[in-house]
Structure 1
């Protein structure tokens, strides 16, 4: 008697459990698709790209998708106001904490400062996901396990950055007469452009690190070291001239930090202008720009390397996700 009554109930319970499990699997699949967390493994992406005659092996980031700590060692005059604003907005949407450093001068850090900084990051990142920004040179993150921390950054066309910094420095120094870069180059190059590029003026040095050769920027060693560090440690290095692609790649490669970027003011791809220096920057002639391209040869090589890497990452994502929204240069 009791067996006849309860057997149908047991069957209904079993069917209901199976139904709920299937609903959960469908929800999980949709969630992964929306958040971009179901990203193809590096080897699978490489195989799909080889079929299209595109060698990307040296451009694929080895940094995992879900670090607890994200470090943005911002390069001056490379859209840091835009990126910081984006991170602050996204910290509220995506549930992480962003720490902003107001130190704009001390980019080389001694061992005591580095150890204190790493200890602070380790402590905070254990309880919450953390992003941090500061003008500083790259350094090794010993003490963190593999996959716990990642680096990102933005760079800019070196000629345009040099021009921007030239006028920005004059404005900050409160000089009564603003030098014109065209006239300065015509009359006295050494007054405007030093014989060698100082590490504080170089984009390369921010990726090279704290070694002595990174500070002297001699013999091309710093350039090669910077490239190697980018390949090994940086999840994404974007370019100011293409924030749209930069933000798309960031969202796929670092979804815990950059998901929902398109819903923020800073994520629409426009650069936040620096009001302090825009009135001090007259047009620069093509002759001066040509001279600067010769002067900044290594900086331009590094910029082209970063740009090429970013677009390869974007092509990887587009091919692996069938995303046709990427508008990439050939």
Structure 2
């Protein structure tokens, strides 16, 4: 609801001249759009460069504002706004007026206006009941009973459906549990198999390690024996070579000695023969073997009178 009002800064003292707007109900709000013309002794108040503030009190005297409002036409002194909702907070006679400022300077105020705020229904009170004839009440009761029965049947159907769903869910849960148990059993068996395989692997690894160690030891012993044999063979070879060399040297020395001995014996024999000469087989002559300067030898008769027995 829109209303137009005129407020004068002269502020008449006669209370019977106080302006009023149409009454409000307590809690009523947002439905009082006011267009206010501000005058000074009947002449429009020039609001150029000014601000206008709304100041009011509720029916119980509580302050509302100050709140700055819109200046619609400054030279005509016209402002426009909606009555603040706080004005209808309390039942009773609410009042308000306007203040005029230029910057922070307080210039003027207008006369007051009032509005009657009517009491509203007590929402917290006991709810009144409506009188209903017996037949109407019976009909209403039957309708209520039928509706309740329908709701009960629907609820029973819903319960049965929920029970069916619960049973199916229980079956699914049991199947899932069976699968879980089977999976757990398989896992346990797999773990046992793994442990057995791990044990066998450890035993095999230990056995293989033992065999490898034994083979390595045998190979080392064989290698050591071979090394010792090779060393001994080399020593024997070296000794044999030394012995052969010594034997060769000894043989060469013996041959030389034998040859020298034979040569010495021949020379001695020749010398002896040359020294003593020889007697012929019939013992009729004695001769000696003479060697000339060329090394040639021949017998020379020394005596032909030799006679023997």
**Which band: TM-score by shorter chain?**
under 0.3
Which structure has the higher relative contact order (CA within 8 Å, separation 6+)?
1
Please report the TM-score for the alignment, with normalisation by the length of structure 1.
0.16
Structure with the bigger percentage of strand:
2
Please state which structure has a larger fraction of its residues in helix. Answer: 1
TM (norm. structure 2) is: 0.16
